[in-house]
Structure 1
C-alpha cells in the first residue's frame, strides 16, 4: 500500500526509529526543541485543550536533581544525553480553554469543573501529545529515549512543587551514540491487533 509519506520519511519516523540508550556529545539546541514543539502542538486534543507541558533539563545541577529520581538503569544514559525533557500534564489546563476553544467558553466551568475528571482527561490528551512529541523529535533527525522508570512523585516534588503539573514520562534527546539501539522486539501483527466488525 502506498503512503503519502515517502519511504525515507516512513523509515525515519517508524521502521528505523528505536529508543536510544546512548548519546553522542553533539549538541541539541533549545531552538530545535521549540521547532519540534511548534510542529507537534498541532496534534489533536479534545476541545483543543493542549495539556502537555515540556520542561527541558539541561544544566548539570538540574540533571542531577532529575537523575536521583530515576531507576538505576536510566541514570547513566540521562547523564550523557544532551538534553532531557520532562513531559507533564498541566492539571489546570482548563484555565486556557476560553482562549484555545472559544466556541464553547463555558467548558472551563462545566465539563472540566470536576478535578478528578479533569485530571483523567488531561492525562489522556497529554499522552496523545507526548506520542506526537516523540515523532517530532524523530522528524528533526534526533533520537528519543522515552522512559517511565522513575519515581513520579519524586520528580513532581522536585520540579513541580506547586502540584499544578504531574509527570507523564521523561525523554532523553540527542544524536545516538555508540551501540545506542537494542534489537527491535516483536510487535503484534495486524491480524492479531485489528478487528473489523
Structure 2
C-alpha cells in the first residue's frame, strides 16, 4: 500500500464537510452504483457485510420518510438529491456460507443468539457506513449523515418485514459550499488518546 497524496487526503478528510444545503444537481444511477462498489471493499468481521441501503430519490419516497425525521432535519432532507437509508440485516449470518466460505461453522456461531446478531450487525454496518461516506466523497459527492430520526418509524415505513433495521441516514448530492457553517472544533490528540 502507498500513502495517498495530500489532494486525496483533503477530499476525504481535511476539506470535506457535512452539507445541509444542496445544489440543484442530480446524482446518477451510475454514481450510486460506483459508490456502492467502492464502499463494499471496506472490512467487516467475518466478511458479514450486514449493510442494506435504500436510495430515496423520488419525492414520493422522501415524503414517506419525512414524518420520521426530527423537525430540524426535514427541509434539508426533502431538498437533498438522494437520501440513503442505511440499515443492517439481522439475518446477515444466513449468507456466511457464501461470504465467509472458508469457515463452514460461521453461521452456527450466530444461530439462536439475537443479542450477538444485533451487536455484530450494528457495529459492522456502522463501519460500512463510514466507508460509504468516504466513497461518496471520493466520487465528488457531498454527504450529510444524520441520526435525528425515529428508527421505529423508518423501519415500519421501509423495512416492514422486520428483518432489516435502520442505522442512520445520509443525504447525498453536491453541497452548496456558500451555506456551510464554520467548521467546529475537534478534540486534540492529547485530550482523548493514550499510547500505552
User: Under a length normalisation based on structure 1, what TM-score does the superposition of the two structures give?
Assistant: 0.95
| Per-residue CA distance 1:76-100 (angstroms, 9 max, x = gap) | 1111111110000011101110000
Q: Specify the alignment match of 1:164 in structure 2.
A: 163
What are the residue-to-residue correspondences of 1:13-92 with 2, within 5 Å?
Answer: 13-92=12-91
- TM-fit CA distance, 1:44: 0.7
- TM-fit CA distance, 1:67: 1.2
Q: Specify the alignment match of 2:152 in structure 1.
A: 153
| Per-residue CA distance 1:132-167 (angstroms, 9 max, x = gap) | 100111111110000100011000000000001111
Q: Is 1:95 paired with 2:98?
A: no
8 A Cα contact 1:78 1:84, kept in partner = yes
- Helix, strand or coil at the partner of 2:135: helix
- TM-fit CA distance, 1:30: 1.8
Q: Is 1:108 paired with 2:107?
A: yes
Aligned alpha-carbon RMSD (Å):
1.2
Count of aligned pairs: 195
| Per-residue CA distance 1:87-132 (angstroms, 9 max, x = gap) | 0001110111000001112211224541121111110011000011
Gapped runs of 5+ residues in structure 1? none
8 A Cα contact 1:144 1:171, kept in partner = yes
Q: Specify the alignment match of 1:11 in structure 2.
A: 10
8 A Cα contact 1:37 1:133, kept in partner = yes
8 A Cα contact 2:57 2:83, kept in partner = yes
Q: Distance in 1 between matches of 2:146 and 2:163?
A: 21
Q: Would the alpha carbon gap of residues 185 and 56 (structure 1) be closer, same or farther in structure 2, given more than 3 Å must change?
A: same
Greater Cα offset, 185-194 or 84-93: 185-194
Q: Specify the alignment match of 1:123 in structure 2.
A: 122
Q: Distance in 2 between matches of 1:20 and 1:14?
A: 14
User: Under a length normalisation based on structure 2, what TM-score does the superposition of the two structures give?
Assistant: 0.96
Q: Distance in 2 between matches of 1:149 and 1:174?
A: 19
- Helix, strand or coil at the partner of 2:84: strand
